[in-house]
Amino acid sequence: MPPVHSFVQRLKWPDYLIAAVLIGFFGYIWYAIEGTLNYKWRWELIPGYIVGWHTGREEYFANLLLQGLTATIRISIYASILALILGTILGVARCSANLTVRMLARTYLEFLRNIPPVVVVFIFFFFLSQQLIDALDLARWSRGIARQDDIWLWELFFGDMRRFPSLISGVIVLALFESAFVGEIVRAGIQSVPKGQREAARSIGMSRTQELRYIVLPQAMKKVVPPMANQFITLIKDSSIISLISVQELTYKTVELVASSRMIFEAWITTAAFYFIVCFGLSRLFARFEKRSDQR
């Protein structure tokens, strides 16, 4: 049995060199912030912006950063459900026997692939979600709910009801954006089902719809769980883009906090840590599920 070396024992001289360069680099940035900018660190204020203390009402409340984080989580969950539905339709359309359907799906995908996300977000916002919200008169409907008493259930699911239309357009924009990539994952899953499966389904008289519903999709969906989990994490990260259309999620709230308190470095580092913890935590969690389902 080969001897087991500890981490430190395995380090060679290039490792020390790299470490020295990195320490030097970060030390310089530290020096620049401390010395040149004369920046005053106020880390002690950050917890108050996560959970604040309301002196008048004598109770804790979720402040900017926590509000933003919960909004980000809500939006990510709703948007991924919607993206999964749209993406499945898109993926099925990409494999359709009908040329027009295939072309339409392909066009949508290429549109999203070749236009920067920020531009896509603005286009979806002004052309689609705003029109939809106006058409359904969601703004007035949600204000009506906000005026009622005892709306904790609404607020649990959607946060501040006065901001409901903005939340919905955020969800729609994000879902439309991600659906293209979900669609590609679904298409890959569908195509990974062997041709013999379709032939067997057809040979017992199934229609194309039955073949898809009972034979192809169940097998495809099982195969796409790992890439789909990754796409969910990507969606959480991408959700910061919708701060541009004034959806009050984590990034938007951080901008707000920086503008009012000028704690540029502390606020952004905290926000980065939030995103990292959520995304890294989820990816470890999914990896563990995957390992467990492999063992079965």
Residues lying near another protein in the complex (CB under 8 A) are found at 194, 196-197, 199-207, 210, 214-215, 218-219, 222
- Selection from 70, 74, 75, 184 nearest residue 129 by Cα: 75
Distance separating alpha carbons of residues 111 and 128, to the nearest angstrom: 15
- When the beta carbons of 47 and 218 are compared against another protein, the nearer one is 218
CB of 208 to another protein, least distance (A): 10
CB of 92 to another protein, least distance (A): 18
CB of 190 to another protein, least distance (A): 14
DSSP letter at 34?
I
- When the beta carbons of 22 and 200 are compared against another protein, the nearer one is 200
- When the beta carbons of 153 and 204 are compared against another protein, the nearer one is 204
Distance separating alpha carbons of residues 90 and 183, to the nearest angstrom: 5
CB of 161 to another protein, least distance (A): 43
- When the beta carbons of 96 and 210 are compared against another protein, the nearer one is 210
The answer to whether the beta carbons of residues 216 and 225 sit under 8 Å apart is no
- When the beta carbons of 215 and 263 are compared against another protein, the nearer one is 215
The answer to whether the beta carbons of residues 64 and 46 sit under 8 Å apart is no
- When the beta carbons of 191 and 197 are compared against another protein, the nearer one is 197
Distance separating alpha carbons of residues 128 and 3, to the nearest angstrom: 63
Helix (H) or strand (E) holding 120: helix 117-123
Distance separating alpha carbons of residues 47 and 271, to the nearest angstrom: 12
Distance separating alpha carbons of residues 222 and 169, to the nearest angstrom: 31
- When the beta carbons of 162 and 222 are compared against another protein, the nearer one is 222
SS3 198: helix
SS3 9: helix
User: Could you write out the DSSP letters of every residue in 122-188?
Assistant: HHIIIIIIHHHHHHHTHHHHHHHHHHSS--HHHHHHHSSGGGHHHHHHHHHHHHHHHHHHHHHHHHH
CB of 188 to another protein, least distance (A): 18
